[in-house]
Chain A
Amino acid sequence: MYSALVNKKEWFSTLVVWMAAALVTAAFLWLLGDIIRYGFGQLSWQFLTTPPRNAGREGGIGPILVSTGLILFVCLVVAIPIGLGTAILLAEFTTEEKNFGRLIRRSLDVLAGVPSIVFGLFGSAFFCNILGFGFSILSGGLTLACMVLPILIRSTEVGLRSVPSDYRLSAAALGLSPIATLRQILLPAAIPGLLVGLILGSGRAIAETAALIFTSGYVDRMPTSFLDSGRALSIHIFDLSMNIPGGNKTAYSSALVLMVLILLMNGITSWLAMRWQQARISLV
């Protein structure tokens, strides 16, 4: 009697858990399936290279891909040195910089939670107005640089911390200075972590929309300088679906391109992380 009751409960809970997993999987496949099914038709080399025509209903996304790339470039050029330096300080100078490090970590945790629209507000007030960059690729890239810093710093720091402390001790025993140890032993060892962070950060940056609406702007022409306004791929999808009647077809294709870029980045990240782990295991 009792065991029958337990069995019934057990059977029911198993059903619920499997149904939850099936529901999530179904939603995912539905979304992905639609994007592929409706986006694949217009996809061609021409779509990727020609400028949009008729407000984006026809033509391609050439200049938009260029703008997206330039925004990402500005973002990384600014974020890499700051991120790398901060990660080194946080991971390697823990004893000297205990309180300073804790303060920075706390502030980065809050920064990681800032909503993207708030980054947009800040970017438009600071980079566009006060520094006078206006609606430009430069403003957009700088705003995104602030946004990807926490993720970049976190994964580089994890990379540095995973270097076995034997390395540091042996280096110290050989009389190498901390800075020389850093340059010749720790940095090369931290490169995989930095790479993972870079790719993760880039993925977040090209997925971003809200932070770019009032910083890099809407102009869909081919940009000629960093001070030109440039429309990012994500903004293109937003504009086509909200403001352009009949823009859904090209919006689907642009969404597919964006998804492929992001899946590619995710793939490279997990491949790198896996290889990195294997390399560490073979070292031990």
Chain B
Amino acid sequence: MSPSQSETLTLWALRGVASIAGTVVLFIIAFLFLEALPALKEIGPFRFFNDASWHPTDGDFNLAPMLLGTLLATLGALALATPLGILSAVFIHYYASPTLGRVYRRLIGLLAGIPSVVYGFWALVVLVPIIGRIHPPGPSLCAGVLILALMILPTIALLADASLTRVPPQTLQGAAALGLSRWSIITGIALPAAKAGLATSIILATGRALGETMALLMVSGNVVQIPLTLFDPIRTLTANIALEMAYAMGNHRSALFVSGLVLMAIIAALVLFSERFSKGEMSV
């Protein structure tokens, strides 16, 4: 084989494996769609929001309470994790000594590596009983929000930290030379300069929260209902898939793939949206 032949061959081999890597996601979407199709055809998209309840074996397919459960848990977790995550990044950059900042950043990194099943297990045996004592039953939206907040906090903190690192030091020094206080420099100059990165971090954390399954399955009670208080149990879309996939047949199984497709669509939209943000930052 001549060198140029082997070169063409290598290039085509590389193109081949890259095509496999590139098509995995298309494959996933195609399969979700294929398996969801029977339900979309026979049940129709509207009944997923208008049916009386979620009793798939009796032919009722209302996904709305679970979609609401997913959204509420995500919003609650974001409301807690966004300020804590951004303040964590601010702490690393402007308050902690270099050593303490390094230690704290390492700690956040470890927090990011803890498996979701371990978060779920700990919340189930430690947090849920505590919440149950304050307001029974215990497994609830509240438990889900708390553990989810802890799980997405590292995503926000680490990305916010990275985008604060990119703020040019001259800008900060200039502000300090003008006699601005530390807090004014942070809120008036550093955070606005890192705006795009902060937004990206929140979007990615939202994606992670929407897709989280195990921890919410373990602590949020899994009752299909619209929660009236923070202490009511909920069931999320992801938990519903994990609970019912094992025995679902026919339209029921197909309806679970519909919920997977809905999740996938929301998350793909978030990812593409966040890319526009990060491009904006790069051009600055």
A-B interaction: yes
B interface residues, how many (CB within 8 angstroms): 85
A40 proximal to B (CB < 8 A)? no
Which of chain A's residues have a CB closer than 8 A to the CB of B84? 20, 23-24
Do B121 and A255 touch across chains, with their CB atoms under 8 A apart? yes
- Enumerate B125-173 residues with CB–CB distance to A below 8 Å: 125-126, 150, 153, 157
How distant is the Cα of A109 from the Cα of B121 in the complex, in angstroms? Answer: 30
- Write the nearest CB–CB distance from A16 to chain B, whole angstroms: 7
Distance in angstroms from A204 CB to nearest chain B CB is 9
Q: Provide the A253-265 mask, 1 if CB < 8 A to any CB of B, else 0.
A: 0010011001101
Note all chain A residues with C-beta closer than 8 A to B118. 35, 237, 255, 258-259
Q: For the complex, is B52 an interface residue (Cβ under 8 Å from A)?
A: no
**Per-residue A-contact encoding for B14-26, CB less than 8 Å = 1, 0 else:** 1111111111111
B115 touches A153 (CB 8 A): no
A214 and B113 contacting across the interface, CB-CB below 8 Å: no
Whether A20 touches B116, Cβ cut-off 8 Å, given contacts A117-B238, A118-B260, is no
B69 touches A (CB below 8 Å): no
A74-122 CB contacts (< 8 Å) to partner B: 81-83, 85-86, 88-90, 93, 97, 100, 103-104, 106-122
Q: Which of A17, A116, A124 contacts B90 (CB 8 A)?
A: A17
B49 at the interface (CB under 8 A from A): no
A82: min CB distance to chain B, Å = 5
**Of A6-14, A50-58, A160-168, which stretch is located at the interface?**
A6-14
* Known contacts A14-B95, A126-B31, A118 near B14 by CB under 8 Å: no
B185 to chain A, nearest CB (A): 11
Contacts of B121 in A (CB 8 A): 237-238, 241, 251, 255
How close is B145's CB to chain A, nearest CB, in angstroms? 14
A34 — which chain B residues lie within 8 A by C-beta? 122, 126
**Is the CB of B268 closer than 8 A to any CB of chain A?**
yes
Instruction: State whether the Cβ of A219 lies closer than 8 Å to any Cβ in chain B.
Output: no
A21 CB within 8 Å of chain B:
yes
Q: How large is the interface on A (under 10, 10 to 19, 20 to 34, 35 or more residues)?
A: 35 or more
Q: Is the interface of A mostly helix, strand, loop or mixed?
A: helix
Whether the Cβ atoms of A207 and B91 lie closer than 8 Å is no
Using CB atoms, name the residue of chain A closest to B107: A28
Docked Cα-Cα span, A20 to B217, in Å, equals 28
Residues of chain A contacted by B207 (CB below 8 angstroms):
113, 115
Q: In the complex, are the beta carbons of B95 and A209 less than 8 A apart?
A: no
Distance of A128 Cα from B231 Cα, bound (Å) = 39
Asked if A242 CB lies within 8 Å of chain B CBs, one says: yes
Quick check: which of B39-47, B55-63, B189-197, B269-277 contacts chain A, the rest being far away? B269-277
B111 to chain A: closest residue by CB: A28
Give the residues in chain B near A27, CB-CB below 8 Å: 150
- Counting CB contacts under 8 A, is A132 at the interface? no
| Chain A residues near B35 (CB-CB < 8 A) | 121, 125
List of A residues within 8 angstroms of B270 by Cβ = 113
Q: Would A82 and B17 be within 8 Å (CB), given that A28-B107, A115-B238, A263-B110 are in contact?
A: yes
Evaluate contact between A104 and B21: CB separation under 8 angstroms: yes
Residue of B nearest to A21 (CB): B91
Mark each residue of chain A from 55 to 75: 1 if its CB lies under 8 Å from any CB of chain B, else 0. Answer: 000000000000000000000
| Interface check A234, CB cutoff 8 A | yes
Please indicate the chain A residues that have their CB under 8 angstroms from the CB of B10 in the complex: 179, 182
The docked-state distance in angstroms from the alpha carbon of A251 to that of B123 is 13
Decide: A266 and B113 in contact? CB cutoff 8 A.
yes
Q: With A122-B27, A241-B124 in contact, do A210 and B238 touch (Cβ < 8 Å)?
A: yes
* Interface-centre pick from A81, A88, A235 (highest chain B CB count, 10 A): A88
Residues A93 and B11 in contact in the complex (CB < 8 Å), given A81-B17, A115-B238: yes
> B183: which of A9, A86, A178 is its contact (CB, 8 Å)?
A9
Cβ of B251 under 8 Å from chain A: no
Quick check: is B284 within 8 A (CB to CB) of the other chain?
A: no
Q: Is A45 an interface residue (CB 8 A)?
A: no
Residues of the B chain whose Cβ atoms lie less than 8 Å from the Cβ of A210: 116, 213-214, 238, 242
Contact B115 A209 (CB under 8 A): yes
Residues in A with CB closer than 8 Å to B211 are 113-118
Question: Counting CB contacts under 8 A, is B78 at the interface?
Answer: no
Hey, which chain A residues are within 8 Å of B68, CB to CB?
Answer: none
Between A and B, 11 residue pairs with Cβ closer than 8 Å are: A24-B108, A30-B126, A31-B114, A103-B22, A114-B267, A122-B27, A177-B3, A182-B10, A207-B116, A251-B121, A255-B118
Q: Supply 11 further A-B pairs (C-beta < 8 A) apart from A17-B94, A115-B264, A242-B217.
A: A21-B88, A31-B119, A86-B21, A121-B260, A125-B34, A207-B113, A210-B116, A238-B117, A242-B218, A263-B110, A265-B113
Point out residues on B near A: beta carbons under 8 Å. Answer: 3, 6-7, 10-11, 13-28, 31-32, 34-35, 83-84, 87-88, 90-91, 94-96, 104, 107-111, 113-122, 124-126, 150, 153, 157, 181-183, 186, 204, 207, 210-214, 217-218, 238, 241-242, 245-246, 256-257, 260, 263-264, 267-268, 270-272, 275
